Structures are given as structure tokens and as C-alpha cells.
Chains A and B, each alone.
Chain A
């Protein structure tokens, strides 16, 4: 997967509206909601008027009713997909954050690793899926590995930028206290890295979901969203495919929102979250 998001630009300062600014929030939510409702209504009407065939484009109302009918199965499959995305993200995060923590003090190490991170971010990681299948098998293992390969470089880059951003004066202050390396790392560098880490995490959760579903689509069990989509699409069960897409969207957005809320809660002190 590719992401050319620039950590320096994406992290602090670019925060959303003030928490208390309900007017602006309404302004952010109401227009897109209206557009959404209008688009769905238009879609429903178009299928009716032009007599579009079900297997090409089903009615939204039909998708919604099947979605709730199949809800318990969809949520089960969604749980499996989430498990792959989540475990891949944790593994990718451990690798990315670990390497950032090990290399941020040493310029040549950080820059050497940075080049590979940049390359990995540019490579469509999903094209590595056949290789991970050879290495880790057709089931969850290979999919988790692919998610890790996609997310590790993102979390590496963002965390590294944050760790290196620590105020030089504050670093000298810690030195003047004769603080140990670990202490300085936790007390100074980590707080500086957190906003950047969260920006990277917000990008990574979305990518983890996408990569998980596509790897599932490539092969293995049907008991997940990607596998289900593959199976139903092969049988031209378009409505079923759509219900899985809706579930995937719901989970993806949900996951993103959870991260965004934690971010906001953890970083209340940070200037980008203080508003005004």
C-alpha cells in the first residue's frame, strides 16, 4: 500500500476544530450527511427508473435489509478480519516503533532505515501477498505478515520524526540532571513522539483494514470479509458482496474513530488539540 503522507505536515498543528465549537462540527457533519442521503435516494430511484439489473447494482434498501438479516454472520466474519488487521498492526507497530526507538539517536542508522521505509511505503505491498503465502501459509499468518509489512514503515517514519523532534534545550536539561538514557527516552522523547505516533496510527488502521481484506480476497478461509466477498462475487451474489462492503466500511470507520478519540484524550495537553 502506498501513502505519501508527510509526517511533519500531518502531525501537530493540523488538528481539527475546537471541541466546544459545535457550530463548526455541525457544519462539518450536516452537509456531507445531506449529500449521502441524497445520493442513496438517487441511487434507489435510478435502479427503479432505468431498471438496472440486480446483479449489476442492487437497490440500497435491499442491501440494508440483507445486511441486518445476515448481521450475525457478517459480524463474525468482520471479527476475523479485524483480528488479522489488529494483529498485523500490533506486529507492524512493534517492528516500526522498535526500530525507531533504536535508531533515532544515531543519524546513519535512522537515515539508513528511513530509505527502506520510504521504499516499502512506495511499493504496493499487496503484491507481496503471494510471497507471504509461500512463507506463512494461506491462512491468517500470511495475511498478518502482509499487514505488518504495510504498516511498519508508516509507524516507523512517524515515530522517528516525533522522537527526533524533542526540544534540544529540554534534552540538555535532562543531561544537566544526569538523567539516564532510558529515563530521558520515556520522560522526554516519548511525549514528543506521541502526537506523531497517533497521526501514523490513524493512517495505519485504515491501511491495515484494506490490506487485511485484500489478502483475504486472494485466498484462504471464507470466514472473513475478504473471503466472503470472493465467494459471493464468484457466484454473482452482488447484494451479499455489498453487505460485506458495508460491514468493512463500518469497521474501518469505527476503528479509526476509536484511535482518534484515544488520540484526543491522551494528547489533551498538545497544542493541536487545545483549540483557540
Chain B
């Protein structure tokens, strides 16, 4: 009990590496039309860490996420997920991917959308009753009790993204890869989603690699912020965010928070200047 508590209240220490990028290079296309999307990326994300990727549009943030998810393959270097190839990690269902668009299935109810991964994965020992309890618990966790029978198109954008989050959590992946998940939401909804994500992160002990365009969001959420440069995408700097967890909106009023936002903003400015 005590170990669990301390784990959720203090910044998780990286005991083991969840995701490791080593000398990673990714080129799209061939010959003259080839685009070097990312090059020379070295980055290790520890277990239970919350790391954000931030950088100018087109700098390869999504590419890194998609490499880790085995949706694309690197042109050079190596990517390891929990010490395995991304392909093996995908087959082992080690990660959940969350897109900017909620990507829900309109022909399924909210409940059935969340149940989809379980239907596909047929996890051993997952009885019908356990499945029901789990979905119920998760819908409660993301604040969607009472919406089980709704269809995705009957929900607001924020609620749809909550369904998508519940769907990613339902098979208990140890890693969440989130590609600008709240980028399409209004600011008020986004703030609330951020706090909920922090709570869920501490409750579920997952590792989160999070892509964002928003500096305040990156600082509020992350243990480390990775700033990237464009063309080709490289890691410009890694900024540790030494604000104590659990964080609330009050964090945003502290001077340290303000300093860190400034630091990230300056790093980002340098990254953009190098680009021009």
C-alpha cells in the first residue's frame, strides 16, 4: 500500500527504460523526393515517466510516436519498446495509441467502442463479468457514467476523446502514445482533460509519451519536455520539469511554473530560429 502511494505522489523515478530511440533516422520516399523526417534521435523514456514532445509543425513528433507503435519502420538506428522490437511490443499489446481525432466507430455505442480492444484481444482470464466491470470502471474514471448507450456522434468533442482514452486504457497497456490528443478541444475542456489525464496516469502507472503544440500543457503534465527542431527533426533539448506531483491548476500560479514555461518557450524559439 505504502509503495503504491509514494509512487503516485512523487515523480516516478526511471528504473527501467520503456521506450528507447537510438540514432533513429526516418526517411519518407526514395531518391530525389525523399524527406528526412527525423535524424539522429537519441531518447530514452523511463517506465512510468510522462514525457512530452514539442516542436514546430512537421518536425517529426508524430513520426517518432508512429515508430514506437510499429505503424512505420525506421530507416536507421533502433527503437526498443520495453526492450523489444516495436513489432513485438505491438503484438504483445504493450501500448495504446491515441490520435488527435477520437477515431470512434459511429456504428457502435460508447460501451461497445470501449469494448472493441477486448473483443479483438480476447485476453485470457478476462471473463464477461470482469469485462463489464472494467468498462464500467473506466467510463466512470473518464466521467462518462450514463452515456454507455450513446453513439459517438451524440457526444461533444471532449467526451468523444474521453471515450477514446477509456478505449486505450481498457486493455491496460503499460504505455500510452498520445498524438496531440487534446489539440482539437477548446481551452477549458483541454484544461480539465489535462488534470484528468494526470490523475489517470498516477492511478494506472502507465508510461506516457505525449505530443503537443501547447507549452503550458507540456509543462503542466510532463516530467520532462523534449524540444525538437525541424528539417530534419532532431532533439534540440530536454528540459526536466521539477514541479512536484500531484499537480493541480494551482501549479500554474507558481513562479517555478512560469520560469519553466519561459525556458521551454526559449528553447522552442531557438529550435525555430535554427530552422529558418
Give the B-binding residues of A (Cβ under 8 A). 167, 169-170, 172-179, 183, 187-188, 191, 269-271, 274
Contacts and interface: CB of A to CB of B under 8 A. Distances in A.
B153 A271 contact: yes
Interface in B126-152: 151
Interface stretch (B51-59, B100-108, B258-266): B100-108
A172 B91 contact: no
Interface in B99-131: 99, 101, 103, 105-107, 116-117, 119-121
B95 interface: yes
Nearest to B103: A169
B71 interface: yes
Interface of B: 69-71, 90-91, 93, 95-97, 99, 101, 103, 105-107, 116-117, 119-121, 151, 153
Q: Which of A167, A174, A178, A271 has the most CB of B within 10 A?
A: A178
Contacts of A167: 103
Contacts of B91: 178
A187 B103 contact: no
A173 B93 contact: no
B134 to A, nearest CB: 16
Contacts of A270: 106-107
Contact of B121 (A170, A177, A274): A177
Given A187-B116, A274-B153, A175 B105 contact: no
A174 B70 CA distance: 12
Contact of B107 (A169, A179, A191, A274): A191
9 contacts: A169-B103, A175-B70, A176-B96, A177-B121, A178-B120, A187-B119, A269-B151, A270-B106, A274-B153
Mostly helix, strand, loop or mixed at chain A's interface? Answer: helix
A269 B117 contact: no
B151 A173 contact: no
A176 B69 CA distance: 7
Contact of A269 (B95, B107, B120): B107
A271 B107 CA distance: 10
Contacts of B90: 175-176, 178
A176 B95 contact: yes
Q: Which of B69, B93, B96, B97 has the most CB of A within 10 A?
A: B97
Contacts of B103: 167, 169-170, 173
A35 B153 CA distance: 40
Nearest to A170: B103
A175 B93 CA distance: 10
Contacts of A176: 69, 71, 90, 95-97
Nearest to B152: A269
Nearest to A266: B107
